[in-house]
Amino acid sequence: MSLDMVQTKTLLSVRNLTVTLTGEGRDVLKDVSFDLAPRQILSVIGESGSGKTVLARALASWLSEPLAVTGGEILIEGRDLLKDPAYARTLAGREIAYVGGNPAGALDPTMTVGAQLVEKLRAVRPEISAADAREKAIRLLEAVKIPAAERRFHEYPFQYSGGMMQRAMIVDALMSDPALLIADNITQPLDVTVAAQILKLMRELNEDFSTAVLFICSSLPVACDAADEVMVLHDGRVVERQAPDALIDTPQHGYTHKLIEELPTLWAEGRDQAQPQDRDRRAIMSVRGVAKHYETRSASGKALVQAVRNVEFDVFPGDNFGIVGESGCGKSSLMRLLTGLERPDAGSIFFEDENVGEASPKRLRALRRKFQLVLQDPYGSLPPQSAIGAILEEPLKIHAIGNRAERRDRARAAMSEVGLPTDLYDSLPTGLSAGQRQRLNVARAMVLEPRLLIMDETLSALDQTEQGKLLNLFERLQAQHGFTYIFISHDLTMVRQVCSRIAVMYLGETVEVAPNERLFFDPGHPYSRALLSAAPTLEERRYRPEDCLMEGEPPSPIDLPPGCAFAGRCPQAFDRCLTENPRLRSRGGQALAACHLNDPGES
Amino acid sequence: MFLARFLARRLAQGALIVFLVSALIFTLLRVVPGDPVRLMAGGMAPEALIEEIASDMGLRDPIYIQFGRYIGGILQGDLGQSFVRPANGAAVGGASFDDSTRSERAEVWTLIAETAPMTLQLAVLAMAFALLIALPIGIWGGLRPGGWPDRFALYISSVFVSLPNFWLGIVLALLLSVKLKLVPAIGYEGFAYTILPAFVLAIEIAPFIIRTLTVSVAGVMSQSFIDIAAVRGLTRNQIIFRHALKNSSVPLLNLLGVQFSMLLGGVLVIEFIFDYPGLGLLTINAVMQRDFPLIQGIAIVTAAAFVLINIIVDLAATTIDPRLEY
Amino acid sequence: MSAIDISPDLPSKARAKTISARIWSEAFASTEFRIGLIVFTLLVAAASLYPWLSDVDPTKMNIRAKLSPPILMGEGWSWSHPLGTDQLGRDMLARTLVGLRYSLLIGISTTILMVAVGAMIGLFAGYFGGRVDTVLMRLTDAQLSIPMIILAITILGVSRPTIPSIILVLGLAGWPVYARVMRSTVMAERKKEFVRGAMVLGATDWRIMFTLLLPLVLPPLVFVAVLDIARMMIFESVLGFLGLGVQPPTPTFGNIIADGRKYLMNAWWIATMPGVFLVLTLTSVNLMGAALERARNKIYAGA
């Protein structure tokens, strides 16, 4: 890095920067001014549409049609990047490094990661020899805690997991010892535990490499965790800038205030808890020892992916049952099993005393009237060329319910019940917003008047406000129709808000099943604790990530360790965990967990 | 070992394909009307003699027995003998039937082996011409989607693909060979005789390459790793030549695999027009003379070539893009 | 590419139309498509009207007017034979336009046949996957590995070529490409959530395949098939040229050019003029097809 840069008082000053969406003539960034000191970490937070990504791109000299800078200055070492594009070009990738939110698509899939790291460094600093560049790449890969860096250097991007790839992209940025790192939504696509690891890494690197970081994200808790100072962007303007603690305690601007207010909390007491369980009720759905594996071809021949194994839980009528876990934990495979789209290889799934896994196709079709699924993707889940009314009548036609007029009435009734204007009956769903589409999905599922609704990440594509509205809708429908819900989700705060009982999944297993309060205040499995510790929140943390989670990635579901699958990342693992996989066991009071630590003999 | 397993699997699949092709062609030739023996023996031959020759050659046995015998021969590397052609010299006319003893007739394998290199020479030259024409146009078009190079690529490929090869062959032969005397055209007396047919063939192939390239180059250029490469500090030349072109070559390779049979179809017509002594001309003559063993042999050899080319194409694609290795 | 968060929702009007309608309007807006359409319409109008209006019999010989060159080219041309006459004094324009009729008839019906066969096979292979897929795709590979033209001339060469047999042979030789494309699109669509949604609702495979998937994936395939009409017209003319197409005295592009080849030295127009017409027709069809293909790619990339 150039030392003279580090010694100056400010590294980057932005003065009255205005970016316009040409054509529309709308300003996306308005009069943005701020300074960044060397080695500082500054978070920029704002909702989608606030212009934060445009800011990141403007700084990286990466604006393209129809966006254009129409005013202001971006000064580095007193020279304006906007007036001197040649200077901006020499800085790009060299002094100003950029890491984006799409690590999977950031590198050429046909070249090894190592070759591309070397290529990048030699492109911006041709004086460095290939051998030196290679050595540096491996050293940095080690610094970002990629195991077996020497071997990983020769692997292709597709062989990296998402978190690993994001680490590699950080290496890519640090290769040229930049003075400024622009981190644009880098944790967004990652699971919470992996995102927590990346955040921790970024702070360490900031100290080791004395690189200033502009950390752009849309989650206030993450922004506060990551940075020395937080700058709030709203509608293209900087509305305030404070240290994280001060920002939370004394927000200056109304928008920040509202942002903090709306944030759901994990630990706050006094929410309306689900009614105490009635012991005598029969389970509506009962899952016992379910397993499913898929065959894949890998480089070393055929391999078995154990997507689901040892899943056990009961869902009672009127329950809001939650299933949480990170990507790859088998949630989606489990969803396919619960809905009878696929059949389990072992175990049983009883729905009202009938085994879904073994029912004949005809019987299954009849059963489908009683349990329905609401899917995740508001755009992909609706047939693209059917009118809204036709979409709602389709399930009735399939099950030959009613005549034409009756079906039409039922469809219209369902529309008004979920809050869709009935005059949309004949239009295509293409004009609907994500929230309206999910309402339509809910309406389609409930038009058959099922007993059980399975919600597969139904809310994850929606923003906070819209989520709240839909949750209210779910509650109302439950009160009116007596639905039972299963929520499959990765979002702990959502689950905390709505579910009465929760199952935690890790690598295909249910590692813990417990009532809401119990899980959050007395988790029985170290993984649950790690998950809770990594959840972004502004509250005082009950569990610190440093204590709950070790470095490392989850093992591959193709090559599972003999013992507990979490042992490799568990700070409390001991010998027995490496050899014997714990079974789900009662901890009293309807709580179950699969951990040797709960064994009376071990503690 | 990946390579060994890949080859084993693909060669097994290929053998199955060749088997299916031979079964298909064999059955077709026996189901369609027309008696080859009548053609061989000549129109004047008495009915009894025709029957005698036919049963001598096993042509009156049930189809599956004939097919079994044929496959048995193939497994020993024997594609059978031509019905019509003598071992040396030109095809026998239909009128005389005194020289139709089996021993004198040409081996199908020899006939194919003699003509295949000529066709290979034509195909390779044509492919070289086609790439020479199509690469610059296609790549340029792909780099400027919506711009005039893209439009140019669209128009030129639309015109090229609309030129029937036999008509273009005639017109170019008339212009370049007869009127301007630039290149020789009809027959074969040296390498120069390959140039014009290869050029006509190249015009037939080029539009497909242009289209595939413009689409794939434009597609790759809009991917995020290309977009972000400039921010990472790579120069435009590095981005285009080291990353974009490499990534867009996979669809091109696949095209060559799939369109191989189109290339052969073109070869057939072109060779016929230019009287070029290759596999294509051999095929047309075989069909006209109802030389069943020769037709079958050619079909099997081309199917095998198709299988091999596709294996090579897939291997090359895997080398370029290791994600395809599964 | 990470989306620039400037406009979270812009429900544009274009999105409210069905995909096919969008492809049509996109294609229709392009110059290529319009040029193609105009030329094509003129040629089709000429082909359907001229032989009837001008009252010229394309098979009527007139030895006295034989080998008369086209208008303004060479000596002895006349207005009554705008494209000249052939060695038997038959009017070239009338022959060419009648040839165009057969060419279009065979090109279009062949394409319909091969799209239908290919789409069905691809639909079944792509939807059911597994063993059905393996069997159907091996068949497709086998078919694909015999050059279409070899297959066609083999069958037509040993049997007698008639119009239905030509259509059948070309159509049955051309389906594999469609089967492959259809299979891969069906496979991709099948994984989408709305298909899963329909399954959960209890829809049968049959219902999903024919009421949900087919209306969705067939139109884009049909747009691209326009390009194959041109390809099939070329094949038809190749067959005619080899003497395996529609038999004389019915004039087709192929047999006219094959005839004219013998008189290339002293009457060049017999072989070249029909070719010019054929090239014009094909270019117009190809321009329309390419515009449609582009529109399809654009809509799908942006959808």
Q: Inter-chain contact C204–A365, Cβ cutoff 8 Å?
A: yes
- The pLDDT-based confidence of B293 (bands split at 50, 70, 90) is confident
The reply to whether A430 falls in a domain is yes
| C residues 120-149 closer than 8 Å to A (CB) | none
pLDDT at C208: 92
Angle between helices C214-241 and B165-172 (to 10 degrees): 40
Domain B112-325: give its CATH architecture.
Orthogonal Bundle (1.10)
Asked whether the beta carbons of B194 and B122 are under 8 A apart, the reply is yes
With 0-12 CB in 10 A as exposed, 13-18 as middle and 19+ as buried, what is A63?
middle
Asked if C274 and C76 count as a contact pair (C-beta separation under 8 A), the reply is no
Classify residue A240: in a domain, yes or no.
Answer: yes
Domain boundary among A449, A469, A487: A449
* CA–CA gap between residue A387 and residue A431 (Å, rounded): 11
pTM: 0.82
Number of A/B CB contacts below 8 angstroms equals 69
Q: What is the pLDDT of residues A66-90, one digit of tens each?
A: 888 998 999 988 889 998 888 988 8
Do A387 and A429 lie in a common domain? yes
The answer on A406 and A296 residing in a single domain is no
Tell me which H or E stretch contains C292: helix C268-302
Domain that holds residue A149: 12-262
Q: What is the reported pLDDT for A114?
A: 94
**Is there a single domain that holds both residue A19 and residue A78?**
yes
Q: Does residue A271 fall inside a structural domain?
A: no
Do A22 and A107 have their domain in common? Answer: yes
The pLDDT of residue A128 is: 92
Find the CB nearest B265 among C149, C241, C268: C149
Q: Do B269 and C238 touch (CB under 8 A)?
A: yes
**Reported confidence tier of residue C34, pLDDT bands at 50, 70, 90:** very high
Q: Which of B169, B137, B171, B157 is nearest to B205 (CA)?
A: B157
Least confident of A29-43, A191-205, A290-304: A290-304
Same domain, A350 and A406: no
* pLDDT above 90 as % of chain A: 35
Task: Give, in degrees to the nearest 5, the angle at Cα B13 between B11 and B16.
Answer: 110
Mutant choice from A108, A154, A186, A305 vs B, greatest count of B C-beta within 10 A: A108
Contact (CB<8Å) B25/C154: yes
Nearest CA distance, A198 vs chain B (angstrom): 20
CB-based contacts of C40: which residues, under 8 Å, 6+ apart?
C281, C284, C285, C288
Domain ends where: A262, A294, A316? A262
Interface of A with B (CB under 8 A): 60-62, 92-94, 97-98, 100, 102, 105-111, 119-120, 123-124, 156, 158, 172, 176, 297-299, 301
Question: What DSSP character marks residue B91?
Answer: P
Residue C4: its pLDDT value, please? 43
Count Cβ atoms within 10 A of the Cβ of residue C168 and give its class: 0-12 exposed, 13-18 middle, 19 or more buried: middle
**Are A321 and A503 within 8 A, CB to CB?**
yes
Residue of C1, C194, C207 lying closest to A381 (CB–CB)? C194
B-chain CB neighbours of C264 within 8 Å are: 170, 174, 178
Q: Give the model's pLDDT for residue B243.
A: 92
pLDDT for A443: 92
Nearest by CB to C6, from A49, A377, A399: name it: A49
**Cα A138–A140–A141 angle (5° rounding)?**
65
Q: How many CB atoms lie within 10 A of CB A464?
A: 14
Domain endpoint, select from A227, A262, A297: A262
For residue A277, is it within any domain? no
For the segment C37-58, the average pLDDT, to the nearest whole number, is 82
The CATH number covering residue A106 comes to: 3.40.50.300
**Cβ(B169)–Cβ(B203) below 8 Å:** no
> Domains of chain B: which residue ranges?
15-110, 112-325
Q: Is the dihedral of CA C211, C212, C215, C218 positive or negative?
A: negative
* Residues A152, A24 share a domain: yes
Contacts of residue A436, defined as CB under 8 A and 6 or more positions apart, other chains included, come to A420
CB atoms within 10 A of CB B95: 9
ipTM of the complex: 0.82
Q: How many CB atoms lie within 10 A of CB A475?
A: 14
pLDDT tens-place string over residues C111-120: 999 999 999 9
Buried b (16+ CB within 10 A) or exposed e, A377-411: bbbbbbbbbbebbebbbbbbbbbebeeeeebbebb
Q: Where are the beta strands (DSSP E) in A415-483?
A: 452-456
Residue A153 has pLDDT above 60, yes or no: yes
Domain count within chain A: 3
| B152 pLDDT higher than 80 | yes
The pLDDT score that the predictor gives to residue A298 is 60
Check whether residue A445 and residue A459 sit in a common domain.
Answer: no
Give the pLDDT mean for A190-218.
Answer: 87
Q: Say whether both A134 and A153 belong to one domain.
A: yes
Q: How do strand A585-588 and strand A452-456 relate by DSSP bridges?
A: unpaired
For testing contact with chain B, the best of C26, C133, C151, C158 (most B CBs within 10 A): C158
Instruction: Indicate whether A46 belongs to any domain.
Output: yes
CA distances from B75 to B15, B68, B108, B311 (A): 11, 11, 15, 21
Domain match, A226 and A334 both: no
Kindly state whether residues A338 and A433 are assigned to the same domain: no
pLDDT digits 0-9 by tens, A13-69: 999 999 998 888 888 999 999 999 988 999 999 887 788 889 999 999 888 878 889
CA A63, CA C192: separation in Å to the nearest integer? 34
Q: A437 and A468 share a domain?
A: no
> Which of 548-577 (A) contact C at CB < 8 A?
none
Q: What are the chain C neighbours of B33 within 8 Å (beta carbons)? A: 158-160
Residues A293-311 have a mean pLDDT of 78
Q: In this predicted model, what pLDDT tens digit does every residue of C132-161 receive, in sequence order?
A: 988 898 888 888 887 777 788 878 877 778
Check whether residue A477 and residue A498 sit in a common domain.
Answer: yes
Would you say residue A441 lies in a domain? yes
In this prediction, residue A486 carries a pLDDT of 94
Q: pLDDT band at B1, cuts 50/70/90? A: low
Nearest CA in chain B to A111: B321
DSSP for B3-52, please give it: HHHHHHHHHHHHHHHHHHHHHHHHHHHHHSS--HHHHHH-TTS-HHHHHH
Give tens-digit pLDDT for B221-275: 988 899 899 888 898 899 998 999 999 998 888 888 877 777 888 898 899 989 9
pLDDT recorded at residue A484: 92
Residue A568 clears pLDDT 80, i.e. is over it: yes
Model confidence band, residue C281 (pLDDT cutoffs 50, 70, 90): very high
**Which structure tokens are listed for A552?**
């490392």
Q: Is residue A280 part of a domain?
A: no
Give a yes or no: residue A7 inside a domain. no
- What span, in angstroms and rounded, lies between the C-alpha atoms of A146 and B311? 36
pLDDT at C87 over 80: no
| Ramachandran sector of residue C130 (left: φ over 0; alpha: ψ -120 to 50; beta: rest) | left
